[in-house]
C-alpha cells in the first residue's frame, strides 16, 4: 500500500495581511498532478487543517473544495485535529464525510479503539492507522493529577505517551500481525521549529522523547512542526512539515510530502513541493538595504513578499525618513514590502523602543503578549510558570467550541 503523509495546511493563514489562500490552492493543484502520475491508497493529514479554531466561511469552503478535488482519486483520507483546530468544527461534518471514505478525528475518542482505522485491500486488512489528534488538557485531567507546574509537565508527557502506547496495544490485540502506523500532532524533543509554530500546551512544551511512542508502531506521521524532518529513533518518526511557507523563518525550507510504500519499506520517499512565491528578508545598513533591494526579482507565480530589517549604529531621524521614502517609492513588479523594522545599536532604551515601533500587537500570539506583560512583574519564576500554565488552559477553553 502507498500512504501519503502531509500536515499543517493552516487554511486561512495570513502572512503580514497577505492571504495565503492562493499559495494553498497552487499546492493542491500540484498535488493533484502528482497523484495523477503516482496513485496512492491513503492520505494522512496530521493536524492543523485550519489556522484558526473558528475558520472563516472562505476557509471552510476552501477545505471542502480541496476534499472534493482529492476524492476524485478514490483513496481513503484520514484527518486528525491539531492545536489550531476546533475539534467540534472538524467533527461537525464527520458523518457525511465518512460516507465518502474521509475519516475525521477532531478530538480523542472516549474509547481508544475508536481511533483505530483498518485499511483493507482485496478483503484483507493490510494496515491499521492509529489516528491520534492533538491531545488537550481535558484528555489528561481524569488520568493524572499534578500539584505544581513541573509535575504537570511530566504528567502530561506521561499521559501523551500513554495514549500512544495504549492505542498501539489495542491495535496489536485486535489486528494481530498487521502493520501499524500512528498519527500525532505534538512537539517532540530534537525537532527544529520556526517562528510560525504557535505555542502549544504544557505537556508538549518539554517535548516527547521518541521512546514515549513505544515500539509497536511501524511509522508515525507527525504534524505541528513546519520543517520536514525525521526524529532520531529506530522507528521511522517523521514530520512532513507544512506544504507552504507560513513565516519568513521558513523562507529557506524545502517543503515536502512524504510517501510510504509499505511493500518496500516504512522509510518514506520525500517529494519536493515546488515554490510558489519567494519570501525575502533583507538585513543591513541603509546602504546595504538599498543595494539588496534593487536586486529583488520575482521568478514565481505569486507576489514576492519582503521584510526589511535596517540596522544602523547611531540613531538618526534622517536615515529612518530616507528608508521610509525608499519603501514608499519601491515599485518592482509583483513584489511587495510587507514589513520593515529599524534598529539603532547604540540607541537608548527609549529611542530603541521608538525605532522598533513597527512591531504591532498583531505580530504576537496571545501567549507572547501575556509573557511580555509578565516580564515587567515582580513575580517569582515559579509563579510566572504557573500563571502561564493557567493562561494556556484559559486560551484552550476559549478556542474550544463545546458540542
pLDDT in tens, 81-103: 999 999 999 999 999 999 999 99
Stretch (H or E) spanning 261: strand 256-261
Lowest-pLDDT range, 36-40, 262-266, 358-362? 358-362
* DSSP-derived 3-state class of residue 168: helix
- In the chain, pLDDT over 70 holds for what percent of residues? 84
pLDDT in tens, 185-217: 999 987 766 655 544 443 344 578 999 999 999
> Smallest Cα–Cα separation from 149: which of 201, 193, 108?
201
SS3 content of the chain, % helix, strand, coil (to 5): 35, 25, 40
- The pLDDT of residue 200: 42
Spatial separation of the C-alpha atoms in residues 195 and 354, rounded to whole Å: 24
Cell numbers representing residue 156 in the block: 502530561
Residue 108 has pLDDT above 50, yes or no: yes
Q: Please state, rounded to an integer, the average pLDDT across all residues of the chain.
A: 87
Whole-number Cα distances in Å, 96 to 47, 91, 103, 388: 20, 10, 10, 39
Q: Which of 77-81, 270-274, 319-323 has the lowest mean pLDDT?
A: 319-323
Rounded to whole angstroms, what are the CA distances from 323 to 284, 353, 374? Answer: 12, 18, 34
- Determine the longest span between alpha carbons in the chain, in angstroms: 75
- Please state whether 17 falls in left (phi above 0), alpha (psi between -120 and 50) or beta: left
Range with the poorest average pLDDT among 180-184, 310-314, 365-369: 365-369
Sheet holding 335-344, edge to edge: 279-284, 304-312, 335-344
pLDDT above 90 for 239: yes
Residue 357 has pLDDT above 90, yes or no: no
Question: What pLDDT is stored for residue 367 in this prediction?
Answer: 72
Domain residue spans in the chain?
A: 2-272, 279-363, 366-399
Q: How confident is the model at residue 70 (pLDDT cuts 50, 70, 90)?
A: very high
Task: Name the CATH superfamily housing domain 2-272.
Answer: Metallo-dependent phosphatases (3.60.21.10)
Enter the C-alpha cell of residue 332: 518592482
pLDDT at 41 over 80: yes
Instruction: Name the more confident of 361 and 75.
Output: 75
Amino acid at each position: 500500500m502507498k500512504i501519503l503523509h502531509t500536515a499543517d495546511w493552516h487554511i486561512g493563514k495570513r502572512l503580514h495581511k497577505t492571504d495565503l489562500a492562493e499559495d494553498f490552492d497552487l499546492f493542491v493543484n500540484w498535488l493533484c498532478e502528482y497523484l495523477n502520475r503516482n496513485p496512492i491508497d491513503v492520505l494522512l493529514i496530521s493536524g492543523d487543517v485550519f489556522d484558526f479554531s473558528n475558520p472563516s466561511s472562505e476557509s471552510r469552503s476552501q477545505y471542502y473544495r480541496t476534499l472534493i478535488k482529492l476524492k476524485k482519486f478514490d483513496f481513503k483520507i484520514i484527518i486528525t485535529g491539531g492545536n489550531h483546530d476546533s475539534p467540534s468544527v472538524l467533527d461537525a461534518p464527520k458523518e457525511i464525510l465518512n460516507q465518502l471514505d474521509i475519516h475525521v478525528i477532531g478530538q480523542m475518542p472516549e474509547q481508544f479503539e475508536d481511533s483505530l482505522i483498518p485499511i483493507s485491500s482485496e478483503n484483507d486488512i493490510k494496515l491499521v492507522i492509529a489516528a491520534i489528534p492533538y491531545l488537550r488538557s481535558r484528555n489528561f485531567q481524569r488520568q493524572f493529577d499534578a500539584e505544581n507546574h513541573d509535575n504537570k509537565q511530566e504528567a502530561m508527557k506521561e499521559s501523551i505517551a500513554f495514549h500512544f502506547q495504549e492505542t498501539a496495544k489495542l491495535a496489536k490485540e485486535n489486528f494481530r500481525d498487521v502493520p501499524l502506523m500512528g498519527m500525532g500532532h505534538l512537539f517532540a524533543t530534537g525537532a527544529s521549529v520556526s517562528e510560525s509554530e504557535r505555542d502549544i500546551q504544557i505537556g508538549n512544551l518539554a517535548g516527547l522523547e521518541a521512546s514515549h511512542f513505544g515500539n509497536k508502531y511501524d511509522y508515525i506521521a507527525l504534524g505541528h512542526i513546519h520543517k520536514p524532518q525525521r526524529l532520531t529513533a529506530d522507528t521511522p518518526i517523521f514530520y512532513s512539515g507544512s506544504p507552504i511557507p507560513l513565516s519568513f523563518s521558513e523562507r529557506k525550507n524545502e517543503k515536502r510530502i512524504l510517501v510510504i510504500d509499505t511493500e518496500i519499506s516504512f522509510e518514506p520517499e520525500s517529494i519536493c513541493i515546488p515554490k510558489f512565491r519567494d519570501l525575502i528578508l533583507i538585513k543591513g545598513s541603509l546602504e546595504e538595504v538599498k543595494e539588496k533591494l534593487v536586486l529583488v526579482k520575482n521568478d514565481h507565480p505569486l507576489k514576492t513578499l519582503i521584510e526589511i530589517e535596517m540596522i544602523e549604529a547611531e540613531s538618526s531621524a534622517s536615515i529612518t525618513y530616507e528608508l521610509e521614502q525608499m519603501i514608499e517609492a519601491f515599485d518592482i513588479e509583483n513584489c511587495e514590502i510587507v514589513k520593515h523594522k529599524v534598529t539603532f545599536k547604540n540607541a537608548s532604551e527609549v529611542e530603541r523602543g521608538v525605532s522598533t515601533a513597527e512591531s504591532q500587537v498583531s505580530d504576537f500570539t496571545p501567549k507572547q503578549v501575556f509573557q511580555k506583560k509578565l516580564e515587567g512583574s515582580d513575580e517569582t519564576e515559579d509563579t510566572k510558570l504557573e500563571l502561564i500554565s493557567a493562561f494556556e488552559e484559559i486560551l484552550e477553553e476559549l478556542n474550544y467550541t463545546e458540542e
